[in-house]
Amino acid sequence: MSVDFKEFNRKMDKTLSVLDDNFGAVRAGRANARVLDRITVEYYGQGTPLNGVATISSPDARTLVIQPWDTKLLKDIQKAIQTSDLGINPQNDGRVIRLVFPQLTEERRRDLTKQVKKYAEEAKVALRNIRRDGMDYVKALKKKSEITEDEQKKAEKDLQELLDKYIKKVDDALAVKEKELMAI
C-alpha cells in the first residue's frame, strides 16, 4: 500500500495561491487592480468587495480609475481607500475616483521587498506545517500497522520531496516579485 498525499498536495497548492494573492496586493510602481482586492465598501448594509460595486480600469501604467455603478458610493469608496493601507490619496471628480500611483522611492522598494520576503517566509512555515501533519499521518498509519516500516520511510521521503518542490516554487515566486519591485 502506498500512502496517498493528495490532501497534503491540495493544501500546499492552496498555500501557494494565498502567497500569490499576497504578492498581488503589493504594488510594484505600476497600477494593478489587484491592489484593491482587499478593499470593501459598505453597500446595502454589507461589506462588498470594491470590484463588486464598481468598474476598475487602468488607462495608463500609473493610474487606476474606479467608476462605481451607483454614484452615491463615491464618498464611501473614497473613504475605504483612504483608511486602507494602500498609501494613495484618491481623487474624486464627482463621477469617478482616480488613483495615481507615484514612482516608488528606493526606500519604499526596500520596504516592499521586506514585506514580500515576510509573505514568502510565512508560506514556507505553512508548507512545513503541512509536511509535519503528513508525517504525523504516516506515523499513525505505521502505529496502526497499516503500512510497513519501509513504506513509512518511503512516504516520509516522498513528503520531504513534495515540500522541497513547493519551497522552490515559493523561492521562484519571491525572486520574480523582488525583481519586479526593484525594477525602475
Domain ranges of the chain: 6-24+105-182, 33-100
Parallel, antiparallel, or unpaired: how do β-strands 54-60 and 63-68 relate? antiparallel
Q: How far apart are CA 49 and CA 145, in angstroms?
A: 50
Q: How far apart are CA 28 and CA 30, in angstroms?
A: 6
Per DSSP, 87 falls in state -
pLDDT at residue 91, as a whole number: 86
pLDDT at residue 109, as a whole number: 82
Tens digits of pLDDT across the chain (184 residues): 567 788 999 999 999 999 988 887 776 666 677 777 778 888 887 888 888 888 888 888 778 888 888 888 888 888 888 887 777 788 888 888 888 877 777 887 888 889 899 999 999 999 999 999 999 999 998 888 888 889 889 999 999 999 999 999 999 999 998 888 877 5
Q: How far apart are CA 179 and CA 116, in angstroms?
A: 11
Q: How far apart are CA 84 and CA 38, in angstroms?
A: 9
pLDDT at residue 58, as a whole number: 82
pLDDT at residue 17, as a whole number: 92
Helices and strands per DSSP (H, E), number in the chain? 4, 6
Fold category of 6-24+105-182 in CATH = Topoisomerase I; Chain A, domain 4 (1.10.132)
- Contact, 36 vs 50, CB < 8 A? yes
Cell of 76: 464611501
pLDDT at residue 120, as a whole number: 94
Q: How far apart are CA 149 and CA 5, in angstroms?
A: 17
Fold category of 33-100 in CATH = Gyrase A; domain 2 (3.30.1360)
Burial class, 74, CB count within 10 angstroms (exposed 0-12 / middle 13-18 / buried 19+): buried
